[in-house]
Amino acid sequence: MRILHISDLHFWTITCNPFYLLNKRLIGNLNLVTRRRRHIRQERAGSFIELMKGLCPDVVLVGGDLTTTALDSEYEKASGFLSRLQTVCPDIYVIPGNHDYYTFESQRKGRFEKYLGRYNPLSDPFVSYHSINDIALVCLSTVRPNLFSSRGFISKPHRDAAQKILWELQEQQVIVLAHYPCLYTTPEYHTGLTRRLEGALPLREMLGGVGRSILYLAGHVHVFSHGCDPVYANVTQVTTAPLFYEKNKQPGGFTEIVADKDDFKIFPWTYDEGWTRCKESLPAQG
């Protein structure tokens, strides 16, 4: 079974409408004009869909940050892209990233739910469970709008709800899908105070206490990494590169996960004048 994890697509549009710039989006737009639009090559969407026609994944997991400043026009691009992807792979699951709830206004208007809710069939808006063949998928929403920062958040009731699901699982293999990594620092990245997940330590403790092997998939840090939790050896974390990124030391890409009996094999893909599958990644020991 072939599962793809894509994240941080960051479809973008630049707005000059002052009504939309009366909040944090003003900073986001300045960042877009001066930097980010050069690094997010959204025109690669077509070549990715073509690649998928050959790769034929069974499931695609989308780890959030599909937009940049949560505008309707960005959501329309993201929704159109997923509609095309769904013609190749019908089984798509999507969770939000912090950029998808970029402003309080975007959350109030329910843009994520309006444009992408069909890929996010949550019985609970923060935690959901799906059985995919013999693999359990637990989706965790770890985002909320912030006035200035990019902090994520997971509350105790949501951790408790996830714990209850994890304890009761019958499946052999478990994937937890979230936007924020639960490790603040690995050899590949460090998340500062304003960009990290509030509640990550008790989340790790909860996942560790479940006792069974868990593959924790995240995005947000814009770099591929793969390692075991240094304290809770049953938890392996993979962070995936932004799909359309192009920056000197941070190539874009995605992660292919091959479910093999009771094991997951991890293959990062990168983009360098074309999509390239790298050799199998083995987890760094914490």
* Beta carbon of residue 121, minimum distance to Fe ion (angstroms, whole number): 22
Which residues ranging from 210 to 229 are in contact with Fe ion (CB under 5 A)? 220
Count CB-CB contacts under 10 A for residue 107: 18
Which residues are CB-neighbours of 211 under 8 A, at least 6 positions away?
234
Binding mask 80-109 for Fe ion (x = CB under 5 A): -----------------xx-----------
* Beta carbon of residue 155, minimum distance to Fe ion (angstroms, whole number): 19
Nearer to Fe ion, 28 or 129 (CB): 28
Cross-strand pairs, 267: 256
* 110-to-35, 61, 90, 255 alpha-carbon distances in Å: 28, 21, 24, 29
Nearer to Fe ion, 227 or 252 (CB): 252
Nearer to Fe ion, 67 or 128 (CB): 67
Nearer to Fe ion, 2 or 195 (CB): 195
Place of tokens 């975007």: 106
Q: What distance in Å separates the CA atoms of residue 26 and residue 17, rounded to the nearest whole number?
A: 10
Mark the segment that binds Fe ion (CB under 5 A) among 2-10, 70-78, 159-167, 247-255: 2-10
Nearer to Fe ion, 40 or 207 (CB): 40
Mark the segment that binds Fe ion (CB under 5 A) among 3-11, 79-87, 128-136, 228-236: 3-11
* 59-to-91, 110, 134, 237, 274 alpha-carbon distances in Å: 5, 26, 13, 19, 22
Burial of 214-236, coded b for 16+ CB within 10 Å and e otherwise, reads bbbbbbbbbbbbbbbbeebeebb
Q: Identify the CA nearest to 134 among candidates 256, 1, 267, 237.
A: 1
Nearer to Fe ion, 223 or 257 (CB): 223
Which amino acid, 46?
A: G
Which residues are CB-neighbours of 63 under 8 A, at least 6 positions away?
5, 6, 7, 8, 95, 97, 177, 178, 179, 217, 218, 219, 220, 240
* Beta carbon of residue 210, minimum distance to Fe ion (angstroms, whole number): 25
* Beta carbon of residue 284, minimum distance to Fe ion (angstroms, whole number): 22
- Please count the residues of this chain forming the interface with Fe ion, following the rule CB under 5 A: 5
Mark the segment that binds Fe ion (CB under 5 A) among 31-39, 65-73, 153-161, 272-280: 65-73
Give the residue, chosen from 8, 74, 100, 229, that forms a contact with Fe ion under the rule CB under 5 A: 8
Q: Is residue 65 near Fe ion by the rule CB under 5 A?
A: yes
* Beta carbon of residue 59, minimum distance to Fe ion (angstroms, whole number): 22
Nearer to Fe ion, 204 or 222 (CB): 222
Place of tokens 């996960």: 257
* Beta carbon of residue 25, minimum distance to Fe ion (angstroms, whole number): 15
Q: What distance in Å separates the CA atoms of residue 72 and residue 100, rounded to the nearest whole number?
A: 11
* Beta carbon of residue 179, minimum distance to Fe ion (angstroms, whole number): 6
- Pairing state between β 185-186 and 189-190: antiparallel
State the residues that interact with Fe ion by CB under 5 A.
8, 65, 97-98, 220
